[in-house]
């Protein structure tokens, strides 16, 4: 088996990125963060990739957090740099111009939950558990957890998860809006790939427009967001895919999008 902390597989326009440290419950050290950043940069640049699925190796964890053994050696300046490295990765994922699905197959704690929250969609096994337990280590979330939790689940849920530090099960995560779907563990890969295939067959430029509009609109005033939405809507009329999609609808056939 390769010693690389991340493995890649591509099939049917779907790139699966797997954190490959099962003996450490896929904990995020500096090397793994850098490998993930490079993997997502490559996926963004590869025209053969339309959707990305992110998961963890083994049956226990998506990513169980940051690598505590490495973190204990850091100085305050190195700790800040480690946080910035993690935030750079999360921002890259969040701003990727292609849909990213987190396939949460086990523990997603600390940095693992932050990693999942940076993805556009999250499907969790019914056996999964998520949480921000940094308070138990005398720390706070450092890869964007305090900020994305508020935006995804609201202030009350963010305070509960960060202040109490206790993990929650997949059903509670679904209730809070932290995951989109919960499925039986045995069906997780099948259901995730089914969603990925649907996205891979959708109009790529429209997918990108939706991702950009929601990301940018979520960070500005509604008037500015609406203006940006109108600009992106109009831009779609310059694409061959829009002509193909509307034509296929009128002709009652399945569209064939070509990313143009």
* Active site residues per annotation: 114, 134
Which residue has 């226990």 as its token pair?
Answer: 60
Please, what's the largest Cα pairwise distance for the chain?
A: 64
Alpha-carbon separation of residue 42 from 73, 85, 230, 246, 257 (angstroms): 31, 17, 30, 32, 22
Give the CB-side neighbour count of residue 231, counting CA atoms within 13 A: 10
Q: Which helix (H) or strand (E) holds 169?
A: strand 168-169
The dihedral region occupied by 165, where left means phi > 0, alpha psi between -120 and 50, and beta the remainder, is left
DSSP 72: T
Q: Which helix (H) or strand (E) holds 14?
A: strand 14-19
Cβ 245 vs Cβ 203: under 8 Å: yes
């Amino acid at each position: 088996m390769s010693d690389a902390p991340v493995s890649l597989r591509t099939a049917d326009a779907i790139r699966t990125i797997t954190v490959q440290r099962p003996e450490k419950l896929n904990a995020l050290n500096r090397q793994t963060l850098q490998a993930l950043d490079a993997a997502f940069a490559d996926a963004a640049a590869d025209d053969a990739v339309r959707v990305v699925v992110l998961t963890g190796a083994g049956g226990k964890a998506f990513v169980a957090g940051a690598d505590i053994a490495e973190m204990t050696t850091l100085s305050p300046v190195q700790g800040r740099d480690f946080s910035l490295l993690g935030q750079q990765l999360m921002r890259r994922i969040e701003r990727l111009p292609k849909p990213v699905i987190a396939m949460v197959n086990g523990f997603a704690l600390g940095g693992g939950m932050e990693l999942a929250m940076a993805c556009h969609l999250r499907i969790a096994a019914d056996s999964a558990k998520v949480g921000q337990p940094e308070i138990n280590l005398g720390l706070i979330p450092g890869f964007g957890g305090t900020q994305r939790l508020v935006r995804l689940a609201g202030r009350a849920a963010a305070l509960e998860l960060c202040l109490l530090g206790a993990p929650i099960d997949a059903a509670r995560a679904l209730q809070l809006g932290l995951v989109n779907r919960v499925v039986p563990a045995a069906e997780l890969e099948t259901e995730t790939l089914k969603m990925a295939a649907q996205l891979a067959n959708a109009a790529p430029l429209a997918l990108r427009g939706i991702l950009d509009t929601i990301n940018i609109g979520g960070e500005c005033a509604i008037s500015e967001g609406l203006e940006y939405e109108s600009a992106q809507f109009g831009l779609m009329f310059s694409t061959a895919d829009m002509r193909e999609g509307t034509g296929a609808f009128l002709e009652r056939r399945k569209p064939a999008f070509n990313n143009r």
